[in-house]
Chain A
Amino acid sequence: MKINFVLNGKEIELVAPPDRRVIDLLREDLGMTGTKESCGAGECGICTVLIDGAAKLSCLMFAAQLEGRNVITLEGLTSEEGLHPIQEAFIQFGAVQCGFCTPGMILSALDLLKHNPNPSRKEIREGLSGNLCRCTGYQKIIDAVEAAACKMKKEPLL
């Protein structure tokens, strides 16, 4: 079926099987490999993307559901000026080890900071509670999101 949606600010029209999972559409058909897949069952948060601004799981959505939606993947955060403040903070604070959970973490953090620009550490933990990391022990990720929140208050981007 023909599907029209906006991906990282660009209007897209494509033909895909309606029951193609969004994660497969993004990675395999569109080459957007920033979005990863781990459990495929909604339990790890690795495949998180933003749909109309809300963090959702691309492994549990069919391509047909994208019709008319605004989709943001990790690739959509980087502009010509460089990395997004959350990405910068992840590098600065060593919040990345193997990196597999990082795209989902960053997009969940973005959803959190849009709703709550000034979160406590507890609120950051809750906001990221749907994203599993098996390397960092989370502390540096929380440090990074805290720092990004400070920076984004000064220079609001998204």
Chain B
Amino acid sequence: MKRVFLPQNLGQLCRIMEEEPRAMVYAGGTDLLVKVHQNLIDPPSLICLDRIEDLKEVHEQGDEVMIGACSTHTSLFENPTIQSNFPVLVKALKVLGSPPIRNMGTIGGNICTASPAADTLPPLYVLEAEVEIWSQNASRRMALRQFISGPGKTCLKAGEIISGIWIKKVPEYNLHHFEKVGQRKALAIAVVSLAAILKVSNSGIIEKARLAWGSVGPMVVTSTQVEEALIGQSLSLETLQKAQPLVDEAVNPIDDIRASTWYRRAVAENLLLRLFETKYD
């Protein structure tokens, strides 16, 4: 029998983490509990963060928004601050998993699981999010791109949790796009996903561009070459088609049961073309 702890606040969490150094921490449980049930991991005890209300808050602070790490996906796409500032993230949250998974799973959990197919990661990469790492002694902030160190790997040390995600508002980016291709619309792990935010001028010129692909490498893939190829050009099918070979150079997908390497490459390239069809302000 494993002990399960439900700390109500960060103070209680501190004490429990000290007393249970080998405990595993979870929030929604949609990844961890599958592994526990299948005996892939066998922690002596578990700490559920679900009751710590301080970790569920969303607030604006200057030109940034702080998202509590234990905010569920549902609570975030229903949140007006997230809706108005980060449509690219909302689009990804709405297609993550399924309704019950979105009611349970949290953004902090999606980050810590660090899957290359995680739906929130490409949007959070293009938004240049930072994570706040909390421990008993101190809090520190780190760029998400640095925090995720490999497939399923993060810089989180023993005794640390992610308490929040900080994102700078991006009012100048007027085109937000996210698309996921999977074997089924719901409950399917992404075969390829693309998140993109662009600043497009009144005359249709791409002035700024940030793009990130999921499921086409050991981690989320970004490419300054692709971004530079778009900047200064008009948002046309021709511009996007010209950048497609650069996408092919940037991605490094695997062959697995969900899709072959060549298919993932083809989809990663073709998802770029969708930017031509995406509406913007």
A56 and B37 contact, CB distance less than 8 A: no
Complex Cα–Cα for A59 and B187 (A): 16
- From residue A104, how far is it (CB to closest CB) to chain B in Å? 9
Scan residues 8-37 of chain A and give those whose CB is less than 8 A from a CB of chain B.
17-19, 21
Interface residues of B in 156-200 (CB under 8 A from A): 185-187
Chain A neighbourhood of B187, CB < 8 A: 43-45, 129-130, 132
- CB-defined contacts of B37 to chain A, threshold 8 Å: 21, 40-41, 59
Asked whether B34 lies within 8 Å of A65 as measured between CB atoms, the reply is no
Closest CB-CB distance, B99 to chain A, in whole Å?
A: 5
Confirm or deny: A108 has a beta carbon within 8 angstroms of a beta carbon on chain B.
yes
B110 within 8 A of A: no
* A42 with B34, Cβ < 8 A, contacts A54-B103, A64-B48, A65-B48 known: yes
Does A129 contact B6, Cβ atoms closer than 8 Å? no
Say whether A55 faces chain B, with CB atoms less than 8 Å apart: yes
Would A129 and B185 count as touching, CB distance under 8 A? yes
Do A129 and B48 touch (CB < 8 A)? Answer: no
**Does A56 contact B104, Cβ atoms closer than 8 Å?**
yes
> Is B29 close to A, CB under 8 A?
yes
Residue of B nearest to A132 (CB): B187
What is the bound-complex CA distance between A62 and B37, given in angstroms? Answer: 11
Interchain CB contact under 8 A, B4 and A19: yes
Nearest Cβ in chain A — how far from B276, in angstroms? Answer: 24
Query: Which residues of chain A are within 8 angstroms of B74 by Cβ–Cβ distance?
Result: 54
Cβ of A95 within 8 Å of any chain B Cβ, yes or no, is: no
B5 CB contacts on chain A under 8 angstroms: 64
Q: Which of A59, A60, A61, A111 contacts B99 (CB 8 A)?
A: A111
B1-17 interface bits toward A, Cβ cutoff 8 Å, 1 = contact, 0 = none: 11111100000000000
| Interface hits, B91-109 → A, CB 8 Å | 97-101, 103-104
> Which residues of chain A from 83 to 115 have a CB within 8 Å of any chain B CB?
108, 111-112
Whether A129 lies near B103 (C-beta < 8 A) is: no
In the complex, whether B33 has a CB less than 8 A from a CB of chain A is yes
Beta-carbon nearest neighbor of A108 in chain B: B99
Q: Give Cα distance in the complex from A55 to B101, angstroms.
A: 9
Q: Would you call A55 and B1 a contact (CB within 8 A)?
A: no
Q: Which residues of chain A are near B132, meaning CB under 8 Å?
A: none
User: Quick one: which of A19, A56, A64, A67 contacts B100, CB cutoff 8 A?
Assistant: A56
Chain B, Cβ-Cβ closest to A41: B34
Our pick among B30, B48, B185 for the contact of A42 (Cβ within 8 Å) is B30
Chain A residues with CB under 8 Å of B33's CB are 21, 59-62
* Given A21-B37, A42-B30, A129-B99: A57 touches B4 (CB 8 Å cut-off): no
Closest B residue to A62 using CB positions: B4
For the complex, is B227 an interface residue (Cβ under 8 Å from A)? no
Shortest Cβ-Cβ A-B pairs, 5 listed: A130-B98, A129-B186, A64-B4, A18-B4, A19-B2
The residues of A with any CB-CB pair to B shorter than 8 Å are 17-19, 21, 40-45, 48, 54-57, 59-65, 67, 108, 111-112, 126-127, 129-132
Apart from A59-B37, A130-B99, A130-B186, what are 4 other A-B pairs with CB-CB below 8 Å?
A18-B1, A19-B4, A42-B30, A56-B103
Of the A-B pairs whose beta carbons lie under 8 Å apart in the complex, a sample of 7, sorted by A's number, is A21-B37, A44-B187, A56-B100, A62-B48, A112-B99, A127-B99, A129-B185
Query: What residues make up the interface of B, taking CB atoms closer than 8 Å to A?
Result: 1-6, 28-30, 33-34, 36-38, 46, 48, 50, 74, 97-101, 103-104, 185-187
